[in-house]
Amino acid sequence: MVVEVLGASWPVFIGLTVLLMGFASFMTGQAVAKTWQPMWQVVPYAVLLGFVDRFLTWSLFEGDLFSLSGYIVATLVLLAIAALAYRLTLVRNMVNQYPWLYQRSGLLGWREKVQE
């Protein structure tokens, strides 16, 4: 059942998609945030990384190249990782670049500093 949905086995999905391509997706999210680009620009990069993941799954581990469900699941996982990296980097940039205006508010947010 897992092979039909993911287009690969669990170890291949965890190792290739989550770890290897997830690292590439994390770095992509950071790069987009560091250049102050809008978050929607993460989506096309995640789509392209999903294609790369499908190709590597097929070429290295004999997975199904044309597994639509495998592509969708992998792309959604990579998009989630890239979006998380984008938000973490954006929060860090805002707090570090404007320390007199903002302070960190949790892991994924910032707020205006209270002036005393």
Is the pLDDT confidence value at 1 over 90? no
With helix as H, strand as E and coil as C, how does 50-99 read? HHHHHHHHHHHHCCCCCCHHHHHHHHHHHHHHHHHHHHHHHHHHHHHHCC
Q: What is the pTM of this model?
A: 0.92
Q: Token pair for residue 112?
A: 């205006």
Q: What integer pLDDT is reported at residue 21 of this predicted model?
A: 96
Report pLDDT digits (tens) over 29-61.
999 999 999 999 999 999 999 999 999 999 999
Which residue segment(s) compose the domain that 90 sits in?
Answer: 2-112
Q: What integer pLDDT is reported at residue 35 of this predicted model?
A: 95
Q: What integer pLDDT is reported at residue 116 of this predicted model?
A: 65
Number of domains within the chain = 1
Q: Token pair for residue 72?
A: 């969708």
